Amino acid sequence: MNMNKLGAWFLAIGMFLISATTFAQTKAVSVLSYHQDEDSEGMIDGIREVLRSAGFREGRNLKLTLADAQGTPERAQQLALELVRGRPDVIVTLSLPATQAVMTYTKQIPVVFAGITDPVAAEVVMGWGPSGTNVTGVSDALPLKKRIDLIKQLVPQARRVGVIYNPSDANSVAQVREFQENLSGTGLIAIELTVSRPVDVGSAARSLIEKVDVFQSLTDSTVSQSYAALAQVANDARIPLLGWDVKDVRSGAVAALDLTDQDIGTAAGRVALRVLRGVKPGAIAPEVIANPPIYVNLQAASKQSVTLSPALTKVARPLVK
């Protein structure tokens, strides 16, 4: 009987110690999004997966608070203040407006931003090195240089890159200019052709067949509306077409670099995890994702005479097989 009581006593002490340890290790993470949409949901999924993989479980050793400003600056300010008052271990902000709102109210609580292309230009941080402040995070920038590297990787013999765009679109003109600048010194040259209507895209592409080794699509909205016509020309002429994003790959491009929202959230989650483990945010340089995923369309590769190397096949994410 006494032994039973002693065993029960030890069991109670053990359960108490386990509970106390779990409580001591519980972390609080708050996430503020400016819009609750597919973009923010994808980033949140990425953050959750990183924390789950690290052993954090909601309701056990993780308190995860999600707040959505519904696209309203006033609500963003209100929610930011409420989150700061709750004093979580880290606040993850999913956009520039959300980040700015939180930064208004705290210079102590760690802030990890996601979904800001140029945090330096936005004055979220002063430079691309460790900030020495309470703010760090992940840029969603994908430099053109990396896209050019993909051209050379997929089509090493290419010299002439066909680019079709609408000259009345200021963003497209700026992007083509940046593309030209990044081609300097690479051995590649841009062969440009302009269109004013989506219906002209197919005929423009056909006129380039004898003049280019590869097509590269940018973000031109006129071209996007007739992407199927561009892809058909690439298939018929067996000229590789490289896209700008996942959507282009699904529409017939051989491959594209892209950062999905979950990729960005995963990267931000890894930064937040470092903070939870004791690293000061000011000691973590803002991150530009070094190796963005390569998405491929294996059907398009076959039609456009592109052979994927074993090394590329190993890391690529096939969207269409």
Mean pLDDT computed over every residue of the chain: 92
pLDDT tens digits, one per residue of 241-274: 999 999 999 999 999 999 989 999 999 999 999 9
DSSP 3-state assignment of 192? Answer: strand
Q: Which residues have CB under 8 Å from 28's CB, separation 6+?
A: 62, 63, 65, 86, 87, 88, 89
From CA 34, how far away is CA 122, in angstroms rounded? 16
Residue 293 has what pLDDT? 92
Phi-psi group of 191: left, alpha or beta (phi > 0 → left; psi -120 to 50 → alpha; rest → beta): beta
Helix (H, G, I), strand (E, B) or coil at 123: coil
Per the model's pLDDT, the better-predicted residue between 100 and 143 turns out to be 100
Burial (CB < 10 A; 0-12, 13-18, 19+), residue 234, is buried
pLDDT tens track for 151-160 = 999 999 999 9
pLDDT digits (tens, 9 = 90+) for 148-207: 999 999 999 999 999 999 999 999 999 999 999 999 999 999 999 999 999 999 999 999
Domains of the chain with CATH codes: 26-141+263-288 (3.40.50.2300), 144-258+293-320 (3.40.50.2300)
